[in-house]
Structure 1
């Protein structure tokens, strides 16, 4: 479907918030900018029903409301009507709320303290299919992904560091003799590590261990294991 900005038609918005005064203020702000507010909802279930019925371009969604939270409503709306963009507008700035909204399919996340221009810009961006976050939220998202550990390091916490090194080499298809030479260990020691790995990963043989390890991102032949 053609986006509203491209046809000259107003962006159609459904406002969802349990505070009537806030809904009224947001409605006035958006209408002054030429946005058509097609309906208002005071809880998640009403938002889901009205979104399905009216098919707005954007649902502006609060998170904490009686009778059903905004995360579940967002998830339902984005699943059943993928063309509708959800813009979260909330007081909650904690990481759990931000990433729960993202996982539920929200295209944008702003704090209620955001200025009128920022809210208007976010509504237009979400209607156009873009993802947009307020400055503070964007910094938190960037910091999260910047500081996120390599998933390979988080895999198999039950293994010791040495066992993880051995598993890495197993995933690369190395034999016990090759692993022993690479890590400067005896083949008996390697065999003991391999047995422990099989037991901890609940696998029956080397082939199963390779599958499990590669699914976790191990086994890159370009990544070298440094002997300790």
Structure 2
């Protein structure tokens, strides 16, 4: 299997770090994008680390495209995201806005900046959440996070339509409840999540582009 150029945002910890490890083991070239590299990321020795990439900072994203030189992208995984829990009593407008900027607008800005570097027939992946599903919401609360992930899902579907003429397929994947810092270490292991995500990425093509899948293969409702 041909070596691929894989770009991963939020690669310094959690699912992003595990994805970096997975694709390096596969023999791919992995370009790790993050605000600040962790010691764990540095130990993995990815092909290149792009630090200072902050999805809240439009300049850092614009500068990224100029650093690529002639590198072309086979797979871009938008993984960076934040969760700021809230409920009706603790609603905070700034926290809601921040989640929109990071979880929804951030990935769109990354795609726009790197679009010229995407190969024809490249794969574009968004790690979202089933908490962004309106039909699946049975417990309420998490206003900012749910709304930001619903917005990300809508953005990703639009991208799947706009990029299909270029042969670029778009995956919208829920990684499961994963035991990371974001979830208070509750849920499945990052390794288990990434094995499922890798299967979803492998099977991603234009025929299932723009659909919403759990890492276990289940198609999720909007």
Structure index of larger Rg: 1
TM-score (norm 1): 0.45
Larger proportion of strand: 2
Larger proportion of helix: 1
TM-score (norm 2): 0.46
Higher-RCO chain (CA-CA 8 Å, sequence separation at least 6):
2
